[in-house]
Amino acid sequence: MNSRTPSFDDLDRKITTALMANARTSFAEIGAAIGLSATAVKRRVDRLRETGVITGFTATVRPSALGWRTEAYVEVYCEGAAPPRRLAEVVRNHPEITAAMTVTGGADALLHVRARDVEHFEEVLERIRTEPFIRKTISVMVLSHLLPDSPEAGATQAAPE
Amino acid sequence: MNSRTPSFDDLDRKITTALMANARTSFAEIGAAIGLSATAVKRRVDRLRETGVITGFTATVRPSALGWRTEAYVEVYCEGAAPPRRLAEVVRNHPEITAAMTVTGGADALLHVRARDVEHFEEVLERIRTEPFIRKTISVMVLSHLLPDSPEAGATQAAPE
DNA sequence: AGTGAAACTGAGTGCGG
DNA sequence: CCGCACTCAGTTTCACT
């Protein structure tokens, strides 16, 4: 589930890069760029989806346009041992949590939170704090972004072996 | 640039949500779901793109499938005042930095970094550390994700007013 | 702003190399 | 695994309400 997909060649890499840049690029156009027919490109894309390299196609949205103007990272400290399974349940209770992961360092988990404004963020934070085994939280508010909104969930290029 | 787009109604919200879930949903299908013709849906999508609500369509990729198996957040501390402009330049020098922002708290900036493995991450870190006015870094390695790969860059729903 | 119809472009598939 | 040819579905534009 975590290993490098076998037989992922240079053409697959170029196709993937093209679709990350614009998911609506036609197979014919991609094919023209890399010297393949639209059919061949389609078949490769199908295979990339089957093997889980490409997990989906989404529209990227400017969060502020939807009313999400406040963003923060929240370090979470738990009472005693924090089983990741229980943590995952807790996390799913709060739709404002857009990413959550276990991490090294003092904290048990790191959450990415979006809220409408600071008032809303405070409310979310209090809600999280009342969860059973959460002992402490440390929040870091995001002030401004130094890169254009990158697809945080994925690197923009394929890494060489 | 940061304000709520005017005349963003309920239909726009539903269309946006549908395209975030699957950027390839046809206009006809979206229209059928919300009681609009494909033509009307297309015009609204065009407008959503022009007004910057929707910034693009991308394929979501499982980073490990592309060889990015290591992920970390790096807090950056600068010498004296750290002008965001200069920081942005620095950040652009390192393709492994997939997100960067200025933040509240002790650190001046927070970076999201992807690397092939721990060795590669160490190399990236040393490269970042040699940048002119970077005084100190604190790294937090990501161990496991508690949510399915959410589109970190955007909330999955529109926020109510 | 919305609809419906016409023209066009791309997706999906079967077949042959 | 690739390309070609065909069919069908979706996009795009236009005239109209």
Convert the pLDDT of each residue in A96-140 to its tens digit: 999 999 999 999 999 999 999 999 999 999 999 999 899 999 999
Average pLDDT (A80-87) is 87
What is the predicted pLDDT for the residue at B158? 61
Is A2's pLDDT higher than 60? no
Strands B109-115 and B97-103: antiparallel
Beta-bridge mates of residue A70 = A115
Give the containing element (helix H, strand E) for B88: helix B84-92
| Band of residue B99 on the pLDDT scale cut at 50, 70, 90 | very high
**Partner A, chain B 49-68, Cβ-Cβ below 8 Å:** 51-68
Give the pLDDT confidence of A59-74 residue by residue, as tens digits.
999 999 999 999 999 9
Q: Which residues of A touch B52 (CB under 8 A)?
A: 62, 65
Q: Tens of pLDDT along B53-74? A: 999 999 999 999 999 999 999 9
In chain A, domain spans: 9-49, 68-139
Residue B111's nearest CA partner among B151, B141, B67, B145 is: B141
Quote the pTM value: 0.91
Select the residue of A58, A73, A112 nearest B60 (Cβ to Cβ): A58
The CATH architecture that domain A68-139 belongs to is: 2-Layer Sandwich (3.30)
Length of chain A, please? Answer: 161
**B9-49, what's its fold?**
Arc Repressor Mutant, subunit A (1.10.10)
Distance A100 CA to D13 C1' (A): 45
Mean pLDDT, range B123-130, rounded to an integer = 97
B9-49 and B68-139 in the same fold: no
pLDDT computed for residue A8 by the predictor: 92
Q: What is the mean pLDDT of chain A?
A: 91
